[in-house]
Amino acid sequence: MAQFLLQSVWLVPCYALIGGLLAAAWSPGLIRRTGPRPAGYVNILMTLVAFVHSLIALSALRNQPPQALSFTWLNVAGLHLSIDLEISAVSVGAMVLVTGLNLLAQIYAVGYMEMDWGWARFYSLLGMFEAGMCALALCNSLFFSYVILEILTLGTYLLVGLWFNQPLVVTGARDAFLTKRVGDLVLLMGVVAILPLTGTWNYTELAKWAETATLDPKVATLLSLALIAGPLGKCAQFPLHLWLDEAMEGAIPSTILRNSVVVGTGAWVLIKLQPVLALSPIASAVIIFIGATTALGTSAIAIAQIDIKRSLSYSVSAYMGLVFIAVGTHQEKTALVLLLTYAVAMALLVASTGTIVWMNVTQDLTQIGGLWSRRPITGISYIIGAAGLVAVPPLGGFWALLQMANNLWNSQPWLVGVLLVVNGLTTFSVTREFGLIFAGKRKQMTMRSPEVLWAMVLPMTILAGLTLHVPLLLQAWHLLPNWASINKTVAGLLILSTAIGCGTGCMIYVNDNWPKPVQLGSKQLQDFFAYDFYTAKLYRITIVFVIGLLSQIVYWFDRYIVDGFVNFVGLFTIFSGQSLKYNVSGQVQFYALTILIGVAFLGMIVSLPLLFNSPTF
């Protein structure tokens, strides 16, 4: 049975897709009588089936070598497009994570999307996302990874734009689509360019090719840079990071997914491409540079936000930056562990803050406070999520960061410094949020804030339990480092950075006596971080301005030069007709003159040869 389920594990994306399609039936325009709720239930059921299926398949995979499946998609002259699937512990494990988080987010949405009519659209898109991510996890072909990434980009556009009557949602969805699309398009250049070099899009074969490949360094660099661009946009890295901030306009259950796993899709492709990217040392340096600057920048920005969701979204960019660093320094395994621990913890953080938003309406951190005694479950969940994210010893984030810092300690110590700073800043940021939400005096918006209903608490607490069990899971999968091999200095430094971040965070934000709102030196500096380095303005004065100007020029050229030329031909014809008609003067004598001139002219032409050719005449 288990073996059969393992063989048919490719059905998992199909379940989710079917769930998504079925959910669409309860759109308000189709089934008009029952209300939208069955859409959610059907989807949850299908997700549960997918989760159980992939879980059993994962257990059946124990101690088995990875298997490869291949379906032919298209076979045309000289091009054989096959859908290659890889059934390995990692890919099926990723599917378990995706379906599990989806299941929890969908149950969460049952509570959160109460009093909303858009369940059909919402759950359809969640199902589509789940299907896409599962397919991406299984997919072993760069080409089809790209296909799925593009479909997910469209999905992001639709999911962010769920409540499209809000103007900020529309602009946010637009930016999310275009920004990710740009990355994807450059990725497409890489995907197309890699085929003539390797003859294959299969990741396994690409890795094999990369082992022995001798490539012109320039070609390798350009190819790698193109391949990086897709994940760069997907993972909300500098400079394509603004979309994640604006995508926080969407519903929170989808934010859970987006922050935990959807941004991971880019990292997943990046990890799979690591052997190819390793061909170019420049590309590796670029990945590290992007990852480091994003991690440092966004973890600093996260501290200056007053919106709960946005504060967390910048931490997402920061942790994706750490994944980039891991890939840039050739630590695929560490990157995968980091993705796992981060996804669970971040999902918990978003779920926890989501319940706060649901009950207190406002997302403004300066308007809430003093919720600890009222909302213990949410508060504890938040603490667990925060502790699981940053380096707090027994929990998952610590092991991932430790493994990473350990590997970097001898080769690139400055990256350990980056890691420590990011860890410290993120700790400070999550502590700050905790202090602002749960500590201090209650404010007007949080005077009455009961705990939310079970459908939101249940997934949150399950996630909290999962976060607590991540170390045990890592141990079971032999992913924890050996006790003897742990670099005590690195571990100590990591814990120290967490302690410093947490300590200062507590001192400033949990401590009621510290004056709030907190001022950081000059107003300009504070605004600089609060407005995300003015990225929106930066986009507007650079790329948006240039494209806008160019399109206006092209429009003008088309409107007036190209159209003008054609219209001129018509106008000229009209004008000549209008003016030549005056030749019909109505005077018979004038007609006679015209005939005469015509005849004389004709006679002259006819007799010209005679004049010149016969001198005797």
Partner 1 sequence: MHLQLQYFLLLAAALFCIGIYGLITSRNAVRVLMSIELLLNAVNLNLMGFSNYLDPQNIKGQVFTIFVITVAAAEAAVGLAIVLAIYRNRNTVDMEQFNLLKW
Residues contacting 159, CB < 8 A, separation 6+ = 122, 125, 126, 129, 250, 251, 254, 258
* Burial grade of 358 (CB within 10 A; 0-12, 13-18, 19 or more): middle
Tell me whether residue 411 or residue 585 sits nearer to partner 1 (CB atom).
585
Bridge partners (DSSP) listed for residue 87: 67
Instruction: Return d(Cα 387, Cα 372) in angstroms, integer.
Output: 17
Nearer to partner 1, 484 or 580 (CB): 580
Residue 581 CA to residue 568 CA, distance in Å, equals 20
- If one asks whether residue 616 binds partner 1 (CB under 8 A), the answer comes out as no
Among 525, 562, 593, 604, binds partner 1 (CB under 8 A): 593
CB 288 within 8 A of CB 407: no
| 587 binds partner 1, rule: CB under 8 A | yes
Q: Of 141-149, 405-413, 428-436, 591-599, which part binds partner 1 (CB under 8 A)?
A: 591-599
586 binds partner 1 (CB under 8 A): yes
- When asked if residue 592 is in the footprint of partner 1 (CB under 8 A), the reply is yes
Of 37-45, 485-493, 558-566, 582-590: span binding partner 1 (CB under 8 A): 582-590
Residue numbers 182-221 binding partner 1 by CB under 8 A: none
Q: Which of 588, 605, 606, 610 touches partner 1 by CB under 8 A? A: 588
Assign 84 to helix, strand or coil.
strand
Buried b (16+ CB within 10 A) or exposed e, 504-516: ebbebbbeeeeee
Stretch that binds partner 1, among 14-22, 332-340, 443-451, 583-591 (CB under 8 A): 583-591
Give the nearer residue to partner 1 in terms of CB position, either 518 or 596.
596
Q: How far is the CB of 588 from partner 1 (least distance, A)?
A: 7
Q: Name the segment binding partner 1 (CB under 8 A); options: 32-40, 153-161, 548-556, 585-593.
A: 585-593
* Residue whose structure tokens are 């005469």: 596
DSSP string, 261-314: IIHHHHHHHHHHTHHHHTT-HHHHHHHHHHHHHHHHHHHHHHHT--BHHHHHHH
Helix (H) or strand (E) holding 382, with range, is helix 376-389
The answer to whether residue 476 forms part of the interface with partner 1 (CB under 8 A) is no
Is there binding between residue 610 and partner 1 (CB under 8 A)?
no
SS3 440: coil
Q: Residue 589, interface with partner 1 (CB under 8 A)? A: yes
Is 569 a binder of partner 1 (CB under 8 A)? no
Enumerate the β-bridge partners of residue 70: 84
Q: Does 612 sit near partner 1 (CB under 8 A)?
A: no
Which is nearest to 367 in space by CA: 451, 448, 435, 437? 437
The reply to whether 582 sits near partner 1 by the rule CB under 8 A is yes
Least spacing, CB of residue 557 vs partner 1, in Å? 38
Q: Does 115 bind partner 1 (CB under 8 A)?
A: no
32 near partner 1, rule: CB under 8 A:
no
Determine, following the binding rule CB under 8 A, whether residue 595 of this chain makes contact with partner 1.
no
Closest distance of CB 585 from partner 1, Å? 6
Tell me the three state secondary structure of residue 393: coil
**In this structure, how many other beta carbons lie within 10 angstroms of the beta carbon of residue 558?**
11
Contact between 574 and partner 1 (CB under 8 A)?
Answer: no
User: Please, which residue, 507 or 593, has the CB nearer to partner 1?
Assistant: 593
- Interface residues with partner 1 (CB under 8 A)? 581-582, 584-589, 592-593, 596
